Structure 1
Amino acid sequence: MTKEKFINSPYADEMRKITLGLYTHGWDERNGGNVSYRLTKEEVSQYADVDTVLRNVKIDFDASELAGQYFLVTGTGRYFKNVYDHCERDAGLVQIAADGHSVDIHWGFNDGGQPTSEFPAHLMTHINRLKVDADQRIVMHCHPTNLVGMSFTVPLDEKTFSRILWKMQAESIVVFPEGLGVIPYMTPGTNDIGAATAAKMKDFRVVLWPHHGIFAAGDSMDETFGLIETVEKAALIYTTVQAQGGHFLQEITDKDLADLAARFSIKPNPDFLTGKSLVEGK
């Protein structure tokens, strides 16, 4: 294997599989999603020539805190349904330049493409998550149908959203014990929404963009994808209950949540552990 064969690396393979999974779940229609994957120089140098820069492109953000870091990232305007077969065109391996305001492309984007327009938001999230988790690797943005639907009918309040999702299935509080971060509706593709999301990422690994989608972060592709799956499954259960009339006769209680936390040795957000019941009259 030559150092030009990054397409055969496990990292490109993971990107191809995860983008296909996001598309087939219906969460990334058209060009409606983006993924970034932080890699080390040691990992990259096994498969790519790190001394060769194909192009340098500007980014609208000062990422100097990440100078020298490598990211495998999806491209702007690219359809996730195509990444599996055209990874070298629809994704690219970039390194944050020393000035922080541009990236050097080492592989990919072979038709002249560039990183996703949400890349500044990804980098802001990576910066803040690395301060919490030194193993932070992945940022995913997608449009989970049922969770986005809830943003039209549920108050945009973190406690309300988190408690509903926790109470829809026993797995929820185990997978995202910190709950769900929520920001106000903001125009996507801007540094403002990126900064608001990154600020929430100090306390949460998944943040809702109302009427749009979510940002999720994690240590691996599987972990981050699984986080999104769990959140969206809880939203689907809530949507199903609402379609059945929306009347809760029973629920996972606050005591049940506390018991789950004790059983799995997790520390849920204490502000979200108690509150209004979903069962009318309680």
Structure 2
Amino acid sequence: MSYLELTAAAKQQIADIALISGYLWERGWAVKNGGNISLEITGEINLRSSDLNPLTYTPLKHPCPDLSQMYFIMTGAGTRMRDVACQPLSHVCVIRISDDGTGYYHIRDEVFNSPAVPTSEMPTHLAIHQFMKKQGGKNRAVLHTHPIELTALTLIPGFCDESRLNKILMSVQPEAVIAIPGGVGLVPFILPGTDQLAEKTVASLRYYPVVLWEKHGCIAIGHKLQDAFDLIDVLNTSAKLFFLCREAGYTPQGLSAQEIENLKKYY
């Protein structure tokens, strides 16, 4: 039985998940089952029956009252992005937060038939979605991935500093300043999937739309999934340019502070 009725907007969201998952795999940012995606789709999906099977209910360790009755699509735990790209409906999960925000229902039917449970990073994703809900605005997408050159910067002691990273990433190309004028955040290494990582990430997202996770990867938010991807793509290009210059034996001159300020004012 199909419990869910997908609107055209929801179908487009699923197509975007497939598209971006393919990009992540092609770039080598999603080795094995690395990375995860979540989208808030409330209003874009209709439940044919109000009879939510209690067997699909899972309590949340940390209630999310601000997300009550909201719907989300998330990649499944252990799923590979290359598989999500080919068969998204078989590798993503649809969840509905309970009326009181203390748990969620995992909705499975003949369309959404993934055997996987939601991503192990779900606590971080829900914490971010709750933060975005409180902030207002249009952001509804969360993307976590492992961009190679960007992550490599966090492995070098001399560069693994928020101020230093921003100086490097913002100065090597105008596009970084234009796309992310406020810069990026950095969270020191914390065990993935933990409450502490969620807390530190949300704290950093108050100031930055992209947060690097030291020795791990990064996470970005946006109105659409492609928006979040674009931010990471621009930043990773900056990291690539930096390393290309260093491999050639040069320290990149980069944009001056005045040039960066002029870009911010103009755009």
Give the direction of change, closer, same or farther, for the CA distance of 1:22–1:60 in structure 2 (3 Å limit). Answer: farther
Task: Give the drift of 1:107.
Answer: 4.2
Q: Deviations over 1:190-218 (max 9, x none)?
A: 11101110111111110010110001001
CA contact (8 A) 1:6 1:107 kept: no
What secondary structure sits across from 1:162 in the alignment? helix
Call closer, same or farther: CA 1:59–1:114 in 2, change over 3 Å. farther
Cα root mean square deviation, aligned = 2.1
Tell me how many residue pairs correspond in the alignment.
259
C-alpha distance after superposition, 1:177-236 (max 9, x if no partner): 111101111111111101110111111110010110001001111211111100111111
Instruction: Measure the CA separation in 2 of the matches of 1:200 and 1:95.
Output: 27
| Contact in 2 for aligned 1:158/1:179 (Cα 8 Å) | no
Residue 31 of structure 1 corresponds to which residue in structure 2? 33
Residue of structure 1 aligned with 2:191, choices 181, 187, 190: 187
Contact 1:93 1:106 in 2 (8 A): yes
> Counterparts of 1:206-221 in structure 2 under 5 Å?
206-221=210-225
Q: Per-residue CA shift, 1:110-145, capped at 9, x if unaligned? A: 243211010110111122233334211100000000
Structure 2 unaligned runs (5+)? none
Task: Tell whether 2:153 aligns with 1:150.
Answer: yes
What stretches of structure 1 of length at least 5 have no aligned partner?
Answer: 265-282
Point out the more displaced range, 52-61 or 123-132.
52-61
TM-score in terms of structure 1 length: 0.85
2:139 maps to which of 136, 140, 146: 136
Q: Which amino acid counterpart does residue 15 of structure 1 have in structure 2?
A: I
Match of 1:71 in 2: 72
Alignment of 1:39-78 (within 5 A): 39-41=41-43, 43-45=44-46, 49=48, 51-53=50-52, 55-78=56-79
- Summarize the Cα distance change of 1:53–1:94 in structure 2 as closer, same or farther, 3 Å threshold: same
SS of 2:45 mapped into structure 1: helix
Instruction: State percent identity of aligned pairs.
Output: 26
Verify: 1:169 aligned to 2:179, yes or no: no
Determine the C-alpha separation between the residues in 1 that align with 2:202 and 2:254.
Answer: 33
CA contact (8 A) 2:30 2:145 kept: yes
**What letter matches 1:259 in structure 2?**
N
Q: Identify the residue that residue 127 of structure 1 maps to in structure 2.
A: 130
So what's the TM-score if we normalise by structure 2?
Answer: 0.90
Contact 1:56 1:104 in 2 (8 A): yes
Cα deviation for residue 169 of structure 1 reads 0.3
C-alpha contact 1:7 1:88 (8 A) present in aligned 2 = no
Query: How big is each residue's C-alpha offset from its partner over 1:224-270, in whole Å with a ceiling of 9 and x where there is no partner?
Result: 1111100111111111112112433x321111101111211xxxxxx
Which residue is 2:265 aligned to? 262
Code of the residue aligned with 2:212 in structure 1: it is L
Of the three residues 216, 223, 231, the one matched with 2:227 is: 223
Quick check: 1:88–1:107 contact (8 Å CA) kept in 2?
Answer: no
